[in-house]
Amino acid sequence: MTRYEEIAAELRRRLDADPTPYPVGSRLPGHSQLTAEFSVGRGVLAEALGLLALEGRIRIVDRSGALVLDPTAPPQPVDVGSQVRRNELGYIFNAAAGHWRPTAPPTRRWLPAPPHIARLLDVPIGSDVLERHRIVGPDGHPVQIADSYLPADLARGTVLEAASTGPGGIYDRLEHDFGHGPLTWHPRVGAAAATPDQARDLGVSRGTPLLVLTRISISGTSRRPVEATITYLDGHRFEVTSQPITRDDTAAWPTTPATAENRPAAL
């Protein structure tokens, strides 16, 4: 094993000990203490802690320490694409997030549309789009990044550029003020490795698998995309749930057993 793998193995042994010196919810010793104990530099220690973070054993809190997680805790389900709800703040697409609030001041900026955003909004690559960036979570703990994108012909010079877009947020503005109601939404589910900025925002290690949820808002009048939101969640802590799998008539029970001659390859 490499040195960082040896350190990760020793910390993993301590985490699994009974009793453990690092119970769930506690913090590992600070980076300075660990680098001194293992006689390594911060780079090697960062590799070791990053490995444990990728396994879902710890969450990097800051440059000085890491929070111990429960590796047996089931991921929190994310309700995607089944039903939209409302509360006093506006539309809610994930029931679990109804009480989440910003953990840092939201930011706005204009940028040239990268290819994937241009595809979502059906605008030319490089055309101006407004990005609204938010970090939210329960009790002040960041658990979700939400980046919303709006085309320039809809957003420039409007309240959509403001820090606060008013009651109901951007969707109420689009539906009630700009004449695009009722909106419909088209969800997509994907995954990506956390970038350095995303890792910092969510308190995870660079490269941590993220659940990526994309929602495209379609105008009820013009039928064009008027907004797209991409949210990022720690893939160790959240999972997408769906309805139970049903049987098509071709898969009705009892089935006809496959013979050795026509048995398909196992999936």
Q: What is the pLDDT of residues 163-172, one digit of tens each?
A: 999 999 999 9
Q: How confident is the model at residue 97 (pLDDT cuts 50, 70, 90)?
A: confident
* 88-94 average pLDDT score: 82
User: Facing residues of 112 across strands?
Assistant: 128
Name 97's Cβ contacts closer than 8 Å, sequence gap at least 6.
136, 144
Q: Where in the chain is the domain with CATH 1.10.10.10?
A: 3-68
Of the listed ranges 2-11, 28-37, 90-99, 140-149, the least confidently predicted one is 90-99
What confidence score (pLDDT) does residue 51 get? 84
- Residue 220 has φ and ψ, to the nearest 5°, of -80, -10
What confidence score (pLDDT) does residue 242 get? 74
CA–CA–CA angle 249, 251, 257 (5° rounding)? 135
Q: How confident is the model at residue 220 (pLDDT cuts 50, 70, 90)?
A: very high
CA distance 5 to 92: 42
Assess whether pLDDT exceeds 70 at residue 159: yes
Q: How confident is the model at residue 99 (pLDDT cuts 50, 70, 90)?
A: confident
Tens digit of each residue's pLDDT (9 = 90 or more) over 127-158: 999 999 999 988 788 999 999 999 999 999 99
Distances from the Cα of 99 to the Cαs of 113, 139, 140, in angstroms? 31, 9, 11
What confidence score (pLDDT) does residue 64 get? 62
CA distance 85 to 69: 31
Average pLDDT, the chain: 88
What confidence score (pLDDT) does residue 250 get? 86
Rg (C-alpha) for the chain, rounded Å, is: 23
DSSP track, 53-116: HHTTSEEEEETTEEEE--TTSPPEEE--SS--EEETTEEESSGGGTT-EESS--EEEEEEPPHH
Evaluate whether 129 touches 151 at the Cβ level (below 8 Å): yes
Class of domain 76-240: alpha beta
What confidence score (pLDDT) does residue 240 get? 84
CA distance 147 to 230: 5
Tens digit of each residue's pLDDT (9 = 90 or more) over 34-66: 999 999 998 899 888 888 887 778 887 766 678
What confidence score (pLDDT) does residue 80 get? 66
**Which residue, chain included where needed, has tokens 């680098």?**
35
* 107-131 average pLDDT score: 97
Name 209's Cβ contacts closer than 8 Å, sequence gap at least 6.
54, 191, 192, 193, 194, 235, 236
CATH for 3-68 is: 1.10.10.10
What confidence score (pLDDT) does residue 265 get? 60
Q: Where in the chain is the domain with CATH 3.40.1410.10?
A: 76-240
Evaluate whether 57 touches 15 at the Cβ level (below 8 Å): yes
H or E element in which residue 238 lies: strand 238-240
Assess whether pLDDT exceeds 70 at residue 258: no
CA-closest candidate to residue 186, choices 245, 121, 131, 126: 121
> How far apart, in Å, do the first and last CA atoms of the chain sit?
34
Q: How confident is the model at residue 189 (pLDDT cuts 50, 70, 90)?
A: very high
What confidence score (pLDDT) does residue 75 get? 78
